[in-house]
């Protein structure tokens, strides 16, 4: 056995996962990157609006992809590059979700993929206050220069997995997961004519069909709301599963909605930072670089103190959180709302989910 896999990173045009506009791939053989590929692309038809916030982060505009093939036309080449490899991605649920949703709205079937998530591995094997891609890449000795460039992000993801395997003396992905007591997850094959659409796609299609007015962003002191219990049927592979989550700062969604979404993923939301807290989600446009600049809320400073004392706790941007819960701000479906009985008026403001890479 040898350390063989393909690392992948997508950038998207808007808050829907199925709107890829760029992809980067790094193929690893024997623990060494041997081949790389990247493409710009037009997102699938009817899902190709470029959100201002996404463009501001990754710099890809409609003009830059004009004349490029759409994702559905390009996927044969992407799939051929991956072949039968295990896929590695930083927050793999997002990137695998891009493939699935992008193919679903393109009317195309998708193959099964075994995959690994370097966010999850970073949490287990490093001790970082943020497991965002720049922090994990720096720890792995492969610092990022142009974060949000899909090719560079894929290369950094590959470097993280190579480093973690070396630290655990693992000669393959299977051996690494066995040493950590984990099972390699799999995204099942699907066919849009036979299988139900994914939740992200259904939510996006429902939002696209809504002609209601956009609800303005509300300022003022955030209302905490109730702390719903974790969903016992949540997917254990989600990065939020089993975490105790606290929110701080102004989010692009009501904080009670954020708590409901985290609980749906198997997290336990709470209202203040304590010895139980394992994740702090920061609003106000925070990204991981703010941990070094000092632009932090009181709760975030408390997290830094606890981390320095040895508590296993990390900080997420709202964009990273939205990737993990699978949707843009204000697109929580009615079923989830009814199931919680929360009766929340959800904001319909667009938010840069996909471009805010981990």
pLDDT band at 341 (very low <50, low <70, confident <90, very high): very low
Q: Which has more confidence, 25 or 314? A: 25
pLDDT at 318: 83
Q: What is the mean pLDDT of residues 237-263?
A: 90
| Confidence check: pLDDT of 16 > 50 | yes
pLDDT of residue 290: 67
State the DSSP code for 42.
B
Per DSSP, the three-state class of 266 is coil
pLDDT higher for 7 or 234? 7
pLDDT of 56 higher than 50: yes
212-225: average pLDDT:
52
Check whether 69 has a pLDDT greater than 80: yes
- pLDDT at residue 60 greater than cutoff 60: yes
Helices (H) and strands (E) in the chain, counts: 14, 10
pLDDT digits (tens, 9 = 90+) for 76-88: 999 999 999 999 9
DSSP state of 190: B
The angle that helices 71-82 and 92-105 make with each other, rounded to 10 degrees, is 130
Angle at 267 between CA 167 and CA 232, to 5 degrees: 110
Angle at 15 between CA 49 and CA 145, to 5 degrees: 100
Mean pLDDT is lowest, of 73-77, 233-237, 350-354, for: 350-354
- Lowest mean pLDDT segment, chosen from 106-115, 236-245, 324-333: 324-333
> What are 276-330's pLDDT values in tens digits?
999 989 887 776 666 776 666 777 777 778 778 888 888 888 888 888 887 655 4
Quote the pLDDT of residue 252: 79
The pLDDT of 269-273, averaged and rounded, is 92
Q: Does 246 or 193 have the greater pLDDT score?
A: 246
> How many whole angstroms separate alpha carbon 163 and alpha carbon 175?
14
264 pLDDT band, cuts 50/70/90, is very high
């Amino acid at each position: 056995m040898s350390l063989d896999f393909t690392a992948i990173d997508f950038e998207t045009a808007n808050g829907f996962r199925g709107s890829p506009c760029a992809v980067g791939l790094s193929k690893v053989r024997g623990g060494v990157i041997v081949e790389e590929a990247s493409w710009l692309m037009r997102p699938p038809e009817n899902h190709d609006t470029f959100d201002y916030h996404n463009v501001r982060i990754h710099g890809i505009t409609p003009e830059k992809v004009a004349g490029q093939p759409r994702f559905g036309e390009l996927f044969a080449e992407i799939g051929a590059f991956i072949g039968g490899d295990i896929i590695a991605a930083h927050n793999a649920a997002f990137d695998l979700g891009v493939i699935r949703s992008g193919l679903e709205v393109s009317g195309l079937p998708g193959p099964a993929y075994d995959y690994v998530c370097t966010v999850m591995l970073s949490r287990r094997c490093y001790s970082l206050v943020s497991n965002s891609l720049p922090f994990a890449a720096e720890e792995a000795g492969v610092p990022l220069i142009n974060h949000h460039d899909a090719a560079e992000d894929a290369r950094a993801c590959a470097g993280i997995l190579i480093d973690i395997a070396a630290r655990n003396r693992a000669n393959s992905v299977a051996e690494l997961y066995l040493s950590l007591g984990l099972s390699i997850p799999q995204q099942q094959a699907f066919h849009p004519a036979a299988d139900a659409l994914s939740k992200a796609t259904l939510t996006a299609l429902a939002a696209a069909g809504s002609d209601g007015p956009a609800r303005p962003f509300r300022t003022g002191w955030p209302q905490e709301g109730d702390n719903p219990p974790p969903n016992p049927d949540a997917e254990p592979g989600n990065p939020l599963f089993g975490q105790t989550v606290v929110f701080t700062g102004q989010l692009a969604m009501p904080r009670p909605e954020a708590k409901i979404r985290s609980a749906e993923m198997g997290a336990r939301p709470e209202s203040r930072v304590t010895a139980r807290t394992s994740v702090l989600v920061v609003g106000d446009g925070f990204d991981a670089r703010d941990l070094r600049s000092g632009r932090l809320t009181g709760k975030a400073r408390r997290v830094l103190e606890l981390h320095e004392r040895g508590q296993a706790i990390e900080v997420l941007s709202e964009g990273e959180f939205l990737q993990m819960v699978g949707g843009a701000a204000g697109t929580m479906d009615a079923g989830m709302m009814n199931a919680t009985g929360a009766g929340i008026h959800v904001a319909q403001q667009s938010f840069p989910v996909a471009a805010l890479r981990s």
